[in-house]
Structure 1
Amino acid sequence: MNKKEARLRRARKTRAVIAEKKAVRLTVFRTNQHIYAQVISGVGSKVLAAASTVEADVRKSQPNGGNVEAAVVIGKLIAERAKAAGVETVAFDRAGFKYHGRVKALADAAREGGLKF
């Protein structure tokens, strides 16, 4: 089992619990260069809000998308967009990544932005 398979195995457990509850989920994906966040509906078929460091307006303020400062910007942005879509409460899906560093910074910023999880 390589690193990716191990991460996806960890993610599968969390996603099974969230799917059972039919909760709206905030999912995070990170690469070395960027970080992505999506708010996905309870049935898992529709993306309600999305934000990433690939977007042009984010790139202007954060040219390096692979650091904690960029994760904080994305956390605030996803919280703002989720609230605009009418979502207040989400389940946090860290996609098998450790709750540490950029993932933790994004989650904390989303909480500050008004999301509850």
Structure 2
Amino acid sequence: MVIPPPVRPERITKFLKPYILRMHFSNKFVSAQVIHSPTATVAISASSQEKALRPSMKTTRDVAAAAKIGKILGERLLVKDIPAVAVFLKKDQKYHGKVKAVIDSLREAGVKLI
């Protein structure tokens, strides 16, 4: 006799999706990706290198550009029905400056951070 596993309520399983936020900052550009960790594929990405975004940005590397990338990434996540992401910062990344701008604008867009 096989006992089936317990069924989790739907509201909990929505937030257990394993999506991880990764950010990269170079001297010229800001980019952020949300990676689906079980399949190791990029679910959503946004970058200041995109041709559609460049005219609306004053510069592509400062804190304002990072905030705009976070806002666009948050909108794309909600369109694709991803309500929550996990944030793992690298050893040299501190919650300050560009990193803070991306994360705060994600929160303002309505994405929950785990």
Q: Is the TM-score greater than 0.5?
A: yes
User: What residue number does 1:90 align with?
Assistant: 85
What's the CA shift string for 1:97-117, capped at 9, x where partnerless? 121101100100011011101
Structure with a larger share of its residues in strand: 2
Q: Normalising to structure 2: TM-score of the pair?
A: 0.78
Structure with a larger share of its residues in helix: 1
User: What residue number does 2:45 align with?
Assistant: 50
Distance 2:17 2:52 in 1: 33
What's the CA shift string for 1:32-76, capped at 9, x where partnerless? 111111111131511110000000121111141111110111000
Q: Which residues in structure 2 correspond to 1:1-80 (within 5 Å)?
A: 23-80=18-75
Unaligned runs of 5+ in 2: 1-15
Distance 1:35 1:44 in 2: 25
Deviation, structure 1 residue 22: 7.1
Kindly indicate whether the alpha-carbon contact (under 8 Å) linking 1:22 and 1:43 is maintained by their aligned counterparts in 2.
no
Distance 1:44 1:103 in 2: 25
Unaligned runs of 5+ in 1: 1-20
Kindly indicate whether the alpha-carbon contact (under 8 Å) linking 1:76 and 1:110 is maintained by their aligned counterparts in 2.
yes
Q: Percent identity?
A: 36
User: What residue number does 1:107 align with?
Assistant: 103
Deviation, structure 1 residue 95: 3.1
Distance 2:79 2:61 in 1: 26
Distance 2:37 2:57 in 1: 31
Q: How many residues align?
A: 97
Distance 2:81 2:104 in 1: 20
Q: List structure 1 segments (4+ residues) > 2 angstroms apart after TM superposition.
A: 93-96
User: What residue number does 1:6 align with?
Assistant: none
